[in-house]
Amino acid sequence: MARRIVVKVGTSTLTHANGKLNLKAIDQLCYTLSGLVNEGKQVVLVSSGAIGVGLGMLGMSERPDSIPQQQAIAAVGQTQLMTVYQQRFAIYGQKIGQILLTHDVVDYPTSHQNVLNTFENLLRLNIIPIVNENDTVAVDELDHHTKFGDNDQLSAIVATMIDAELLIMLSDIEGFFDKNPRKYTDASLISRITEIDEETFEKAGGQGTKLGTGGMITKLKAAQKMLRADKSMILASGENPSIIFKLLQGDLLGTLFQAHR
Protein backbone atom coordinates (compact mmCIF):
# COMPACT_ATOMS: atom_id res chain seq x y z
CA MET A 1 0.00 0.00 0.00
CA ALA A 2 2.98 2.31 0.52
CA ARG A 3 3.21 4.96 -2.17
CA ARG A 4 6.23 6.95 -0.92
CA ILE A 5 9.18 4.73 -0.07
CA VAL A 6 12.75 5.33 1.10
CA VAL A 7 15.28 2.61 0.26
CA LYS A 8 18.61 2.53 2.08
CA VAL A 9 21.54 0.47 0.78
CA GLY A 10 24.83 -0.05 2.60
CA THR A 11 28.38 -0.32 1.35
CA SER A 12 28.20 -4.13 1.69
CA THR A 13 25.48 -4.22 -0.98
CA LEU A 14 27.28 -1.87 -3.37
CA THR A 15 30.82 -3.25 -3.19
CA HIS A 16 32.64 -6.55 -3.12
CA ALA A 17 35.01 -7.51 -0.30
CA ASN A 18 37.93 -6.36 -2.48
CA GLY A 19 36.51 -2.82 -2.65
CA LYS A 20 35.38 -3.05 -6.27
CA LEU A 21 31.84 -2.05 -7.24
CA ASN A 22 29.25 -4.84 -7.24
CA LEU A 23 27.82 -3.95 -10.62
CA LYS A 24 25.31 -6.83 -10.58
CA ALA A 25 23.75 -5.62 -7.32
CA ILE A 26 23.74 -2.00 -8.46
CA ASP A 27 22.08 -2.96 -11.73
CA GLN A 28 19.39 -4.94 -9.90
CA LEU A 29 18.84 -2.01 -7.55
CA CYS A 30 18.41 0.48 -10.40
CA TYR A 31 16.13 -1.93 -12.30
CA THR A 32 13.95 -2.46 -9.23
CA LEU A 33 13.63 1.17 -8.21
CA SER A 34 12.89 2.20 -11.80
CA GLY A 35 10.17 -0.44 -11.88
CA LEU A 36 8.61 1.00 -8.70
CA VAL A 37 8.49 4.47 -10.23
CA ASN A 38 6.83 3.00 -13.31
CA GLU A 39 4.19 1.51 -10.99
CA GLY A 40 3.39 5.00 -9.72
CA LYS A 41 5.41 4.94 -6.50
CA GLN A 42 7.67 7.75 -5.30
CA VAL A 43 11.13 6.49 -4.36
CA VAL A 44 14.09 8.00 -2.53
CA LEU A 45 17.42 6.15 -2.41
CA VAL A 46 19.74 6.71 0.55
CA SER A 47 23.07 5.31 -0.58
CA SER A 48 26.21 4.68 1.40
CA GLY A 49 29.41 3.69 -0.33
CA ALA A 50 31.33 6.89 -1.10
CA ILE A 51 34.30 6.04 1.11
CA GLY A 52 34.16 2.33 0.25
CA VAL A 53 34.19 3.06 -3.48
CA GLY A 54 36.90 5.71 -3.02
CA LEU A 55 39.13 3.22 -1.20
CA GLY A 56 38.74 0.76 -4.08
CA MET A 57 39.48 3.40 -6.70
CA LEU A 58 42.61 4.54 -4.89
CA GLY A 59 43.84 1.00 -4.29
CA MET A 60 43.63 1.34 -0.52
CA SER A 61 42.71 -1.71 1.56
CA GLU A 62 42.02 0.03 4.88
CA ARG A 63 40.10 3.13 5.86
CA PRO A 64 42.56 5.73 7.26
CA ASP A 65 42.05 7.20 10.73
CA SER A 66 42.58 10.78 9.57
CA ILE A 67 39.29 12.63 8.95
CA PRO A 68 40.75 14.85 6.17
CA GLN A 69 41.96 11.71 4.39
CA GLN A 70 38.55 10.08 4.73
CA GLN A 71 36.91 13.22 3.34
CA ALA A 72 39.24 13.23 0.34
CA ILE A 73 38.48 9.56 -0.31
CA ALA A 74 34.74 10.26 -0.04
CA ALA A 75 35.05 13.07 -2.60
CA VAL A 76 36.63 10.65 -5.08
CA GLY A 77 34.21 7.81 -4.33
CA GLN A 78 31.03 9.92 -4.48
CA THR A 79 31.70 11.05 -8.06
CA GLN A 80 32.34 7.46 -9.19
CA LEU A 81 29.25 6.20 -7.38
CA MET A 82 26.98 8.79 -8.99
CA THR A 83 28.51 8.13 -12.41
CA VAL A 84 27.64 4.45 -12.13
CA TYR A 85 24.13 5.23 -10.85
CA GLN A 86 23.60 7.63 -13.75
CA GLN A 87 24.67 5.01 -16.28
CA ARG A 88 22.60 2.21 -14.80
CA PHE A 89 19.41 4.19 -14.20
CA ALA A 90 19.65 5.61 -17.75
CA ILE A 91 19.37 2.08 -19.13
CA TYR A 92 15.84 1.95 -17.69
CA GLY A 93 14.97 5.51 -18.69
CA GLN A 94 14.94 6.69 -15.07
CA LYS A 95 16.13 10.19 -14.12
CA ILE A 96 17.98 10.78 -10.84
CA GLY A 97 19.11 13.73 -8.75
CA GLN A 98 21.72 14.01 -6.01
CA ILE A 99 21.12 15.45 -2.53
CA LEU A 100 24.05 15.63 -0.10
CA LEU A 101 23.01 16.47 3.45
CA THR A 102 24.54 17.53 6.73
CA HIS A 103 22.72 17.57 10.07
CA ASP A 104 22.74 21.35 10.39
CA VAL A 105 20.92 21.68 7.06
CA VAL A 106 18.12 19.46 8.33
CA ASP A 107 17.99 21.15 11.76
CA TYR A 108 17.92 24.76 10.59
CA PRO A 109 14.27 25.66 9.73
CA THR A 110 14.90 27.64 6.54
CA SER A 111 17.33 25.15 5.00
CA HIS A 112 15.11 22.28 6.20
CA GLN A 113 12.20 23.72 4.20
CA ASN A 114 14.44 24.29 1.17
CA VAL A 115 15.58 20.67 1.23
CA LEU A 116 12.00 19.48 1.66
CA ASN A 117 10.94 21.60 -1.34
CA THR A 118 13.70 19.96 -3.40
CA PHE A 119 12.53 16.47 -2.42
CA GLU A 120 8.89 17.26 -3.19
CA ASN A 121 9.62 18.69 -6.62
CA LEU A 122 11.95 15.86 -7.62
CA LEU A 123 9.38 13.26 -6.57
CA ARG A 124 6.59 15.14 -8.36
CA LEU A 125 8.67 14.88 -11.55
CA ASN A 126 9.18 11.10 -11.03
CA ILE A 127 12.88 11.66 -10.39
CA ILE A 128 14.65 9.47 -7.81
CA PRO A 129 16.65 11.58 -5.33
CA ILE A 130 19.87 9.82 -4.32
CA VAL A 131 20.83 10.92 -0.82
CA ASN A 132 24.10 10.61 1.07
CA GLU A 133 25.72 12.41 3.93
CA ASN A 134 28.07 15.12 2.69
CA ASP A 135 31.17 13.35 3.98
CA THR A 136 33.51 15.97 2.57
CA VAL A 137 32.32 18.62 5.04
CA ALA A 138 30.43 16.77 7.81
CA VAL A 139 32.51 16.78 11.00
CA ASP A 140 31.31 17.02 14.60
CA GLU A 141 33.41 19.70 16.23
CA LEU A 142 32.57 21.41 19.54
CA ASP A 143 29.02 22.80 19.17
CA HIS A 144 29.03 22.65 15.38
CA HIS A 145 27.19 19.37 14.87
CA THR A 146 26.95 18.45 11.22
CA LYS A 147 27.11 14.63 11.15
CA PHE A 148 24.14 12.30 11.23
CA GLY A 149 26.34 9.58 12.68
CA ASP A 150 25.45 6.98 10.09
CA ASN A 151 23.29 6.52 7.00
CA ASP A 152 20.91 4.16 8.80
CA GLN A 153 19.68 7.02 10.94
CA LEU A 154 19.95 9.45 8.02
CA SER A 155 17.52 7.25 6.06
CA ALA A 156 15.00 7.36 8.92
CA ILE A 157 15.39 11.14 9.22
CA VAL A 158 14.74 11.52 5.48
CA ALA A 159 11.78 9.11 5.59
CA THR A 160 10.07 10.96 8.44
CA MET A 161 10.91 14.36 6.97
CA ILE A 162 9.24 13.62 3.62
CA ASP A 163 6.40 11.64 5.26
CA ALA A 164 7.26 8.33 3.57
CA GLU A 165 5.10 5.41 4.69
CA LEU A 166 7.91 2.86 4.48
CA LEU A 167 11.68 2.61 4.88
CA ILE A 168 13.31 -0.46 3.32
CA MET A 169 16.80 -1.06 4.67
CA LEU A 170 18.94 -3.50 2.69
CA SER A 171 21.89 -4.86 4.64
CA ASP A 172 24.37 -7.73 4.87
CA ILE A 173 22.04 -9.57 7.24
CA GLU A 174 18.63 -11.14 6.52
CA GLY A 175 16.81 -9.30 9.29
CA PHE A 176 16.72 -8.98 13.08
CA PHE A 177 17.52 -12.15 15.03
CA ASP A 178 17.00 -13.09 18.67
CA LYS A 179 20.79 -13.45 18.92
CA ASN A 180 23.81 -12.87 16.68
CA PRO A 181 23.42 -15.36 13.78
CA ARG A 182 27.13 -15.10 13.00
CA LYS A 183 27.94 -16.49 16.44
CA TYR A 184 24.99 -18.76 17.22
CA THR A 185 23.70 -21.40 14.81
CA ASP A 186 20.38 -21.59 16.66
CA ALA A 187 19.60 -17.88 16.15
CA SER A 188 16.03 -17.28 14.97
CA LEU A 189 14.81 -14.54 12.67
CA ILE A 190 12.11 -12.32 14.18
CA SER A 191 9.63 -11.57 11.40
CA ARG A 192 7.84 -8.67 13.09
CA ILE A 193 8.67 -6.21 15.87
CA THR A 194 6.04 -3.80 17.17
CA GLU A 195 8.03 -2.18 19.96
CA ILE A 196 11.71 -1.49 20.56
CA ASP A 197 12.85 -1.51 24.17
CA GLU A 198 16.03 -2.22 26.17
CA GLU A 199 15.55 -5.95 25.69
CA THR A 200 15.56 -5.46 21.92
CA PHE A 201 18.82 -3.52 22.10
CA GLU A 202 20.29 -6.25 24.32
CA LYS A 203 19.60 -8.80 21.60
CA ALA A 204 21.53 -6.56 19.20
CA GLY A 205 24.55 -6.62 21.48
CA GLY A 206 23.80 -3.77 23.87
CA GLN A 207 23.97 -0.01 23.48
CA GLY A 208 27.12 2.05 23.65
CA THR A 209 29.49 -0.83 22.89
CA LYS A 210 31.89 -1.33 20.02
CA LEU A 211 29.51 -3.94 18.68
CA GLY A 212 26.88 -1.22 18.59
CA THR A 213 28.85 1.26 16.50
CA GLY A 214 27.10 0.94 13.19
CA GLY A 215 25.77 -2.55 12.70
CA MET A 216 22.47 -3.60 14.22
CA ILE A 217 22.27 -0.88 16.88
CA THR A 218 22.03 1.92 14.32
CA LYS A 219 19.36 -0.03 12.43
CA LEU A 220 17.32 -0.38 15.59
CA LYS A 221 17.65 3.35 16.26
CA ALA A 222 16.40 4.03 12.74
CA ALA A 223 13.48 1.63 13.26
CA GLN A 224 12.72 3.31 16.58
CA LYS A 225 12.51 6.67 14.85
CA MET A 226 10.13 5.24 12.24
CA LEU A 227 7.86 3.63 14.84
CA ARG A 228 7.67 6.85 16.85
CA ALA A 229 6.49 8.60 13.69
CA ASP A 230 3.91 5.81 13.11
CA LYS A 231 5.80 4.64 10.03
CA SER A 232 7.06 1.19 9.04
CA MET A 233 10.51 -0.20 8.30
CA ILE A 234 11.68 -3.47 6.78
CA LEU A 235 15.19 -4.82 7.35
CA ALA A 236 16.21 -7.42 4.76
CA SER A 237 19.17 -8.84 2.90
CA GLY A 238 20.65 -6.64 0.17
CA GLU A 239 22.40 -9.50 -1.61
CA ASN A 240 19.72 -9.37 -4.31
CA PRO A 241 18.09 -5.88 -4.30
CA SER A 242 15.17 -7.14 -6.39
CA ILE A 243 13.93 -8.62 -3.09
CA ILE A 244 12.16 -5.23 -2.77
CA PHE A 245 9.47 -6.47 -5.20
CA LYS A 246 8.76 -9.46 -2.93
CA LEU A 247 8.75 -7.30 0.20
CA LEU A 248 6.15 -4.98 -1.28
CA GLN A 249 4.02 -8.00 -2.30
CA GLY A 250 3.89 -8.94 1.37
CA ASP A 251 6.27 -11.91 1.31
CA LEU A 252 7.50 -12.81 4.81
CA LEU A 253 11.15 -11.94 4.29
CA GLY A 254 13.37 -9.99 6.66
CA THR A 255 11.97 -8.18 9.70
CA LEU A 256 9.02 -5.77 9.61
CA PHE A 257 9.09 -3.04 12.22
CA GLN A 258 5.52 -1.80 12.52
CA ALA A 259 3.48 -0.51 15.45
CA HIS A 260 0.23 -2.24 16.40
CA ARG A 261 -2.58 -1.29 14.02
**Binding-site residues for ATP:** 8, 171-172, 213-219
The strand pairing partners of 130, in sequence order, are: 45, 98
As a whole number of angstroms, the distance between CA 197 and CA 78 comes to 36
- How far is Cα 29 from Cα 25, in angstroms, rounded to an integer? 6
How far is residue 125's CA from residue 123's CA, in Å, rounded to a whole number? Answer: 5
CB-CB contact of 5 with 163 (8 Å):
no
Residue type, 146: T
Give the residue among 79, 253, 260 at the shortest CA–CA distance from 170: 253
Cα distance between the two ends of the chain: 14
Side-chain half-sphere CA neighbours of 132 within 13 A: 22
Residues making up the annotated binding site for substrate are 48, 135, 151
Identify residue 56 by its one-letter amino acid code: G
Phi then psi dihedrals of residue 213, to 5 deg: -90, 105
Cα torsion for 38, 39, 44, 49, to the nearest 10°?
-70
Task: Tell me the backbone φ, ψ of residue 42, rounded to 5 degrees.
Answer: -105, 125
Q: Are 51 and 62 in contact (CB under 8 A)?
A: no
